[in-house]
Amino acid sequence: MIIVTGGAGFIGSNIVRALNEAGEDDILIVDRLGQTEKWKNLLDLKFVDYEHKDDFLVRLERGLYDHGIWAVFHLGACSSTTEKNADYLMENNFQFSQKLASRFAGKRGVRFIYASSAATYGDGAQGYSDDHEAVARLLPLNMYGYSKQLFDWWALRTGILKTAVGIKYFNVYGPYEYHKADMRSVVIRSFFQIKKTGKVKLFKSYRPEYKDGEQVRDFIYVKDAVKITLHFLERPEVNGIFNAGTGTPRSFNDLAAGVFSALDLPVNIEYIDMPEGLEKKYQYHTCAETTKLKFAGFRDKLFTLESGIRDYVLNYLEKADAEA
């Protein structure tokens, strides 16, 4: 059996969907559905069981999953960069990850792959290298990033990463992120802004070296993020921390233009002030170093920003049961 924590979430449900397409349906999905529309991500998935995260943890600690598991994708986490409850993030993102890794990572016949985050890189002053030597130098800008950084560091110090893989996802966008509210990508938010008002609102720049809308991110389509993740399922001899990005930074202006183009509309952008308190925590540049990923054997061609947006808009957002 395969366990996918966060299997009803954005990246997690896309992982399950890809596993289904590969003929795998002996899957246990672990998640918290709450009162969101996340449950809709499960509708087209094939799996043998679903467990609430708290119930799963009880069964895990009783040893009920000590046998019969051959892969664990640990995608479950609170991914809100604005979450203020540090105790919750420590319990949910760090300590829960410790319990899972201690049970499964390094166990013979079990592949353990977990989600880290590019949020660990902070403002990028220390670079975006996924070399293990760089981990201790990183200074995340928010508690979410710190919770991920803390687990990366723990996994390194305990030797867990000798037999497991941590994936630092950069700015992922794509289908089945519909439930994420304020944490949805700028692509989907731009789509609905255009549908409602005919224009896209982007943050002004507060640094002279960046014009308005020219702040850049390493945007990666979720289909490519999934391919990178599954690459390591097929190569158990390759372990450690790896970036999941394109290695090509693109501006928010480029992103907005891509959405307008997919809708066959002229570009119309309004630049707005950042919310109070965000300016000092705002990333102006992210870009994954991908050399290590290529050395690990991943050479697949990735979607460009424009082609990824076009696929997302035309084949999902125009058809999806997604709300603004």
* Cα atoms in the 13 Å half-sphere on the side-chain side of 86: 4
Q: Please indicate if the annotation marks 201 as binding a ligand.
A: no
Q: Please indicate if the annotation marks 11 as binding a ligand.
A: yes
Tokens of residue 167, six digits: 């994936």
Q: Please indicate if the annotation marks 31 as binding a ligand.
A: yes
Q: Using H for helix, E for strand and C for coil, what is the string for 176-207?
A: CCHHHHHHCCHHHHHHHHHHHHCCEEEECCCC
Q: Please indicate if the annotation marks 76 as binding a ligand.
A: yes
DSSP assignment of 107-129 equals -TT-EEEEEEEGGGGTTSTT---
Q: Please indicate if the annotation marks 272 as binding a ligand.
A: no
Conformational region of residue 144, where left means phi above 0, alpha means psi within -120 to 50, and beta covers everything else:
alpha
Q: Please indicate if the annotation marks 109 as binding a ligand.
A: no
Q: Please indicate if the annotation marks 162 as binding a ligand.
A: no
Give the pairing type, strands 71-74 and 2-5.
parallel
Amino acid residing at 200: V
Active-site residue (options: 40, 46, 107, 180): 180
Amino acid residing at 5: T
Angle 230-240-156 from CA coordinates, rounded to 5°: 140
Q: Rounded CA gap, 66 and 59, in Å?
A: 10
Q: Please indicate if the annotation marks 282 as binding a ligand.
A: yes
Tokens of residue 77, six digits: 């986490």
Q: Please indicate if the annotation marks 258 as binding a ligand.
A: no
Question: Which own/partner pairs from 300-306 qualify as long-range (CB within 8 Å, at least 24 positions apart)?
Answer: 300/224, 300/227, 300/231, 302/220, 302/221, 302/224, 302/246, 303/221, 303/223, 303/224, 305/219, 305/250, 305/254, 305/255, 305/258, 306/258, 306/261
Q: Please indicate if the annotation marks 32 as binding a ligand.
A: yes
Q: Please indicate if the annotation marks 206 as binding a ligand.
A: yes
Q: Rounded CA gap, 104 and 160, in Å?
A: 10
Q: Please indicate if the annotation marks 53 as binding a ligand.
A: yes
Is 176 assigned a catalytic role? no
Whole-number Cα distances in Å, 105 to 12, 135, 149: 19, 20, 18
* Cα atoms in the 13 Å half-sphere on the side-chain side of 247: 13
Q: Please indicate if the annotation marks 204 as binding a ligand.
A: yes
Q: Please indicate if the annotation marks 301 as binding a ligand.
A: no
Q: Please indicate if the annotation marks 78 as binding a ligand.
A: yes
Q: Please indicate if the annotation marks 196 as binding a ligand.
A: no
Q: Please indicate if the annotation marks 192 as binding a ligand.
A: no
Active-site residue (options: 50, 65, 144, 146): 144
Q: Please indicate if the annotation marks 92 as binding a ligand.
A: yes
Is 210 assigned a catalytic role? no
Residues contributing to the annotated binding site: 10-11, 31-32, 38, 53, 75-79, 92, 148, 171-172, 180, 182, 203-206, 217, 282
Residues contributing to the annotated binding site for NADP(+): 10-11, 31-32, 38, 53, 75-79, 92, 148, 172, 180
Which residue numbers are catalytic? 144, 180
Residues contributing to the annotated binding site for substrate: 171, 182, 203-206, 217, 282
